[in-house]
Amino acid sequence: MATRTDAPTRREQILKEAARLFAERGFHGVGVDEIGAAVGISGPGLYRHFAGKDAMLAELLVGISGSLLTGAKRRLAEAGGTTAPEAVLDSLIEGHIDFALDDRPLITLHDRELDRLRDADRKLVRQLQRQYVELWVGVVREVYPELAEPAARSAVHSVFGLLNSTPHLTRPGSLPGRAGTAELLHRMARGAFAAAGAR
C-alpha cells in the first residue's frame, strides 16, 4: 500500500477512499454512493469491483495484515542471516512506522470495525497478526537474548501500541513532519525494547 510507486488501480482507489471514510464516520455512517462519489463513479458502479461494503472492509483489514507480514518476511530475507540482529530490528521498526504514518485510517478501522468482519475473515486477520508478532519476537530475542519469550511478546505488543498511536496525533502542528515523526517513533520503539531487555 504505502510503498507503491505506480498509479493505483481503480480497485485500490476505492479501497483507499473507503478506508478514509470508514475511519472518519464509521462503517455504518458511510454509504456506497459516498464511496463512489469519492472516486468519481456511481455507487452502483462499485459493485463491479466489490460485492458490497462488507467485502471492502474485509479486503482492507485482511489486506493490511497480510501486507505487514509479507513486508516483514521480505526484510528478514533481505538480511539473509548475515545482518546484525540490531539492524534487522531497525528494519522491522522502519517498516511498521511506514504503515503507522502512511495508513493511519487502517489503524482506526482495525480498532473500531474488526468485530464486523465475518468469523472466517476475522480469524484470518488474527492468524496473520500472530505470525507477524512471532516474527518480531524472534528478532527481539536475538537482540536481547536474556528476555524471556512471554516478556518479548509483551514488549512487541507494547511497541505496536506506541507506533499505532499515530491516528490520535492529528491536531495541526502535533507532528514534527514525517521525517521527524518517523525518527521520534523509531527512537521510542528502540528505547522501549531496551527497557524491556534491561536487567
From first to last of its 199 residues, the chain has per-residue pLDDT tens of 444 456 778 899 999 999 999 999 999 999 999 999 999 998 788 889 999 899 999 999 999 999 999 999 999 999 887 889 999 999 999 999 999 999 999 999 999 999 999 999 999 999 999 999 999 999 999 999 999 999 999 999 999 999 999 888 766 566 678 899 999 999 999 999 999 998 6
Answer yes or no: are the C-beta atoms of 61 and 105 closer than 8 Å.
Answer: no
Q: Give the CA count within 13 Å in the CB-facing half-sphere of 191.
A: 8
The angle subtended at Cα 13 by Cα 60 and Cα 62, nearest 5°, is: 10
Q: Give the CA count within 13 Å in the CB-facing half-sphere of 132.
A: 23
Answer yes or no: are the C-beta atoms of 66 and 130 closer than 8 Å.
Answer: no
Q: Which of 127, 111, 131 is nearest to 119 (CA)?
A: 127
The per-residue pLDDT for 2 is: 46
Cβ neighbours of residue 72 under 8 Å, at least 6 residues apart?
92, 95, 132, 135, 136
The per-residue pLDDT for 6 is: 65
The per-residue pLDDT for 122 is: 96
The per-residue pLDDT for 43 is: 77
Q: Grid coordinates standing for 17?
A: 477512499
C-alpha 84/C-alpha 78 separation (Å) is 12
